Amino acid sequence: MTSGEVGRFAPSPTGRLHLGNLRSALLGWLSARAVGGRFLLRIEDLDPDRSKQAHVDGIFEDLEFLGLDWDGEVLFQSKRAEVYRAALEQLSRAGRVYPCTCSRAEVLRAASAPHAGEEGPLYPGTCRDGAEPKAGRRPSLRFRVAPGVVRLVDEVCGPYEQDVERSVGDFLVQRADGVASYQLAVVVDDAASGVTRVVRGDDLLSSTPRQLQLLDALGLPAPRYAHVPLLLQEDGKRLAKRDGAMTAPGLRARGFTAQHIIGLLAKWSGLGDGGPISARELAAGFLLDKVRREPTVVHEAELLAPGR
């Protein structure tokens, strides 16, 4: 069976993938492969100070070990500056971007006021209608958001809405150093790759209304979104890349096979009992509707040795 479904996994090479990252990769892979679709790999390496080739190699190694293959060439965002620049020029011609010389500290100070939003620092619009350039500062570019509530129906989380103007305000689409922002790059790349469904952690659900506004402003098609609940540590905090025990190499050192790890990821997603299974076997009966809708706590005892 084949279809026009196109999924993707888009990690940042800033550390070894933890089990939460790998579960997102697995679920994205399953949602595409279960219907004979394509699965793409994109490396989001826009930050040269944090992106390391060793981490890129680790991403390849982990996905190959788990049997999560991908189609076509790997896309590296660091090689797509011209593509992002073209998108920014399009937004500029439409009057949807403007230069901003506000420092992060200035935005944070403004965000301490009563009107501050829930999605991080609410940009107060200081430079929206023009502002005096500040000596020695290179401007960033901000997207002029449209007023009103953005609504979507997420395939896992259900109905979601956000007033971007009141919760985030105009947001960055290009940093002061000329590098495209995550929000811009992700929508441009998803559209260019023909991605039809984005499966990712629900910590990014609140970014989706911003991305939908950008897609609309650029005249690009929107994919369907499926934001899956996060895996949590026993203390309730989200998994972190710095915890080596929560990585595929850490588990392999304890005797876990690829099938053991896939089995755990499936169990935490509500798709199995935790027994060893391959990704291919799991794809045979996969439905996104079966994925657990609540966060899952990963217990250290589950990671001590296979079969415990």
**What pLDDT score was predicted for residue 116?**
38
Q: Which of 165, 185, 205 is a domain's end point?
A: 185
Q: Which of 152, 170, 185 is a domain's end point?
A: 185
CB-based contacts of 129: which residues, under 8 Å, 6+ apart? Answer: none
Considering the domain architecture, whether residues 87 and 180 belong to the same structural domain is answered as: yes
**What pLDDT score was predicted for residue 307?**
63
For residue 164, give the DSSP letter.
H
Q: Which of 185, 214, 247 is a domain's end point?
A: 185
What CATH number is attached to the domain comprising 40? 3.40.50.620
CB-based contacts of 166: which residues, under 8 Å, 6+ apart? Answer: 117, 122
Over residues 231-288, the pLDDT tens digits come to: 998 888 888 766 667 899 999 999 999 999 999 999 999 999 999 999 999 999 899 9
- Answer yes or no: is 201 within a domain: no
What is the domain range of residue 135?
81-185
Considering the domain architecture, whether residues 20 and 72 belong to the same structural domain is answered as: yes
Using DSSP, state whether 130 is helix, strand or coil.
Answer: coil
Residue (of 27, 198, 169, 43) closest to 111 by Cα position: 169
Considering the domain architecture, whether residues 55 and 140 belong to the same structural domain is answered as: no
Over residues 165-193, the pLDDT tens digits come to: 999 999 999 999 999 999 999 999 999 99
> CA-to-CA distance for 253 and 303, rounded, in angstroms?
11
- Answer yes or no: is 224 within a domain: no
In total, how many domains does the chain have? 2
Q: What is the pTM of this model?
A: 0.92
**What pLDDT score was predicted for residue 290?**
95
CB-based contacts of 289: which residues, under 8 Å, 6+ apart? Answer: none
Looking at the DSSP bridge assignments, the partners of residue 226 are 199
Q: Which residue has the tokens 């850490």?
A: 250
